[in-house]
Amino acid sequence: MPAGPGRSRIRNRTRRRRPARGTSLPHRTTASSSTSSRKHEPAGPAMTGAKLDFVPPRRLRHHHVQSIYPSLPLRRLGVERRAAPLLHHAADVLVDCGDGVRLLAHLTTQESLGLAPATRLAVLLHGWEGSANSLYLLSLGQQLLDAGYDVVRLNLRDHGDSHHLNQEIFHSCRIAEVVGAVHSLQQMNPGKRMVLAGFSLGGNFSLRVGARAAAAGIHLSRIVAVCPVLDPEHTLVRLEQGWALYREYFIWKWRRSLRKKQQAWPDVYQSLDDILGLGNLTDMTDRLACRYGGFPSLTEYLRGYALVGKTLEPLEASPDTRVRLITAADDPIIAASDLDRVARPPNLEITLTRFGGHCGFYEGTSGPTWIEREIVATFEADT
């Protein structure tokens, strides 16, 4: 289910301004008025730090272009061609998450390519209503495979072709099963250095897995979260009040997913029909969370997977895990200003770029995107 209420304050007004550079900042970075005081720059947390470039060609700087173009179907053929080894050598794996829950993953190993066994394992998480075959996971997965990693592309519950695996419906507070999946993958790959990356809602899950890793006996070397959902209430409002294309797209994909769930479990989900007829994300989320998730209210549900507040403080319990959160000031879905309310344990680094949209960071080339190269570089650092 999507993330939810808050007002969108970020606007893209770059047409007549020289491009600004992004900022990469450690947890100790102090506030500065240099960003928020500039009249025509997007509102966001006031932060300073080492310079980090992401400045796409001018024609690609608009936040909607950045958010949409990298995932357009017209790019699929090229991405799948580049990711052919990842796809052709992938094995389906049903991951035991505990409590009878199973998640579908796709594993591609170095040995399946006829190479020496890997010493490193990368686990990748897609966004809401994406899947293990989302273009960004395929492209990133192939790069990591080329770098010598075994690669697991994990489907969240009811994503990909997995609606039949678990009777209960997906919602974003089902963190225990994702923690269980990562723990199982670690047990299946003893001795391998493990890294984790996620996009959007998958980035949110990745950070929450990191916060629970020490208690669960999970050892992660690196975590990268790209444009993670920070405050679900704010995100839901942005989706409802922002550009209608995003809202209609997610409603369409969610309805399709719910129909698959209904077909897989017809005796359980006959009553989905009234929800399928709703015309906005807020009402759909409210009805599903309360009816099938057991939440007393929409607000309680949305707060259940927020990253703001003290949620990320437990990352400090895994001091050897380096965690990086990367997001863009012009993201039309995630408010960068919510970063001000995220806890800053010593091992968390936040990178805020001027451009990039929502999980875009696209430079117009046919190859890997800037964000994919950054993730690989982060995983490879000090190794």
User: pTM above the 0.85 mark?
Assistant: yes
Q: What are the structure tokens assigned to 325, written together?
A: 């959160």
Rounded distance between C-alpha atoms, residue 175 and residue 94, angstroms? 17
Q: How confident is the model at residue 269 (pLDDT cuts 50, 70, 90)?
A: very high
Residue 264 pLDDT exceeds 50: yes
Strands 102-108 and 91-96, by their bridges, are antiparallel
Q: Terminus-to-terminus CA distance in the chain, angstroms?
A: 37
- 178-201 mean pLDDT: 99
The pLDDT, as a whole number, for residue 367 is: 82
pLDDT tens sequence across 338-376? 999 999 999 999 999 999 999 999 998 888 899 999 999
Q: Where are the domains of the chain?
A: 22-234+307-380
Is domain 22-234+307-380 in CATH 3.40.30.10, yes or no?
no
Residues in the chain: 383
- In 147-294, which residue ranges form alpha helices assigned H by DSSP? 175-188, 201-216, 232-241, 244-264, 273-276, 281-292
pLDDT at 51 over 70: no
Is there a contact between 375 and 197 (Cβ–Cβ < 8 Å)? Answer: yes
- Structure-block tokens of residue 185: 């993958």
Which residue is it, tokens 């020490």?
A: 214
pLDDT bin (cut points 50, 70, 90) of residue 38 is very low
Give the orientation angle of helix 281-292 with respect to helix 244-264, to 10 degrees. 30
Residue 310 in tokens? 């003290």
Most confident of 52-56, 177-181, 366-370: 177-181
* pLDDT for residue 27 is more than 50: no
User: Is residue 285 predicted with pLDDT exceeding 90?
Assistant: yes
CA-CA distances (angstroms) from residue 253 to 1, 91, 129, 248, 294? 11, 26, 6, 9, 23
Query: How does pLDDT run across 129-141, given as a tens digit for each residue?
Result: 999 999 999 999 9
Which pLDDT does position 294 carry in this prediction? 96
pLDDT band for position 1 (cuts 50, 70, 90): low
- Strands annotated E in 97-132: 102-108, 120-125
Residue 215 pLDDT more than 50?
yes
What pLDDT shows up at residue 31? 29
Give the confidence band of 45 by pLDDT, cuts at 50, 70, 90. very low
Count the Cβ atoms, other than its own, within 10 Å of residue 80. 16
Q: How many angstroms separate the CA atoms of 197 and 104, rounded? A: 17
pLDDT value at residue 2: 59
Helix (H) or strand (E) holding 326: strand 322-328
DSSP secondary structure code for residue 308 in this structure: B
